[in-house]
Chains A and B, each alone.
Chain A
Amino acid sequence: MTRPSDVKPREGEQPAALYKDWKVGAEFPPLPFTITPDIVREYMSVVDADPKNYVIDGRQAAPPNVVFVYMMAVMYRLYPPQQGGIMLGNTVQFHNPIWADEDTEVVGTGRVTDKYEKKGRKLICYDVDFKRPDGTLLVSVNHTSAFPE
C-alpha cells in the first residue's frame, strides 16, 4: 500500500520550488505507487462517495478519481511544494477502471505545460497521466494552480 504521505513531501519540509524555477516542457520523474482496497475505502469516506455508484458488471470499482490524492506528488518529484498554493482548476479524462477489490499498481508521469502571470498571480499548468505498469492509461489530468512566489 502507498499512502500519499509516503510519496509526497510536505510543505515546509524542504526548500520550495518557486515560480522562476518552473520550466515549460520539464518532465516529472515517474512516480510508482500502489492503491489498495483500504485506500479506496478511505477515499470514498472523505469524498462522500457511495460505493453503489461504482459497480461495473457486478464488480466493485473504485472512484477513478482516487488518483487525485497522488496527483500533486507527481509534480512534487521535480518541484517541491510551497505554502499558500491555490488550486484553480482541473480537466480530467477517465480511461479505464480501477478496481476496489485488488491492489492496483500505478505509475504517475507528467510535465509542465504552461506558466504565466495573470491579475497579479503566478499560474502553473501541468499534465499528469496515471497508467498501469503495462501502459494501460487510467486517468489523465491537466491542472492549474497559483502560487505566491
Chain B
Amino acid sequence: MAARLEKTIPQTQDMFDDYGKLNGDNDVLHYDDAFAKARGFRGTLGHGLMYTGYVCDLAARKYGRDWHYRGRLTVKYVRGVCPGDRLVVTLEPDGTAQCKSQFDTTLVGSATLA
C-alpha cells in the first residue's frame, strides 16, 4: 500500500525574501510586518506558490515521470503562513494534499494523475 508522504519545513522571513527575490514581486504583505499586521494578519505572509511548490515536490516523488506528463494539481490557500510557523506538508496515497501549521490548516488540495 502506498505510504503518506510528509515533510516539515519551519518558516522564516529569509525564506519569504529568497522566494520573492526569484519571483520578482514587491507585494509588501510578504515583507512588511507592520503592514501585514495592520491588515489583520499575524505577520508577513509566505508566498502561496512557494507552498504549492512544496506540494509539487511530494507529488513528483510520488508519481515520478508521470507527474511531468499527466500531473493534475488543485490548491486553495485557506490561511496565511507567517515566519516562525512550523509547516507540515502532506500528500496522502489518494492524492489529497495539505499544508498545516501549528495554528491551522493553510492549504488544501490534491495532486493526482490524469
Contacts and interface: CB of A to CB of B under 8 A. Distances in A.
Report, nearest first, the 3 A-B pairs whose CB atoms are least far apart.
A47-B53, A5-B24, A94-B71
Interface stretch (A19-27, A82-90, A102-110): A82-90
Name the prevailing secondary structure of the A interface residues.
mixed
B88 to A, nearest CB: 13
A32 to B, nearest CB: 16
Interface of A: 3-8, 10-13, 39, 42-43, 45-50, 53-54, 56-57, 61, 63-65, 68-69, 71-73, 81, 83-97
Given A10-B25, A89-B75, A47 B54 contact: yes
A8 B26 CA distance: 10
Interface of B: 7, 9, 15, 18-19, 22-29, 39, 47-50, 52-54, 56-57, 60-61, 64-65, 67-77, 109, 114
B61 A53 contact: yes
Contacts, number: 134
A11 B114 contact: no
Contacts of B109: 89
Contacts of B56: 47, 49, 63-65
A47 B60 contact: no
Contacts of B69: 94-97
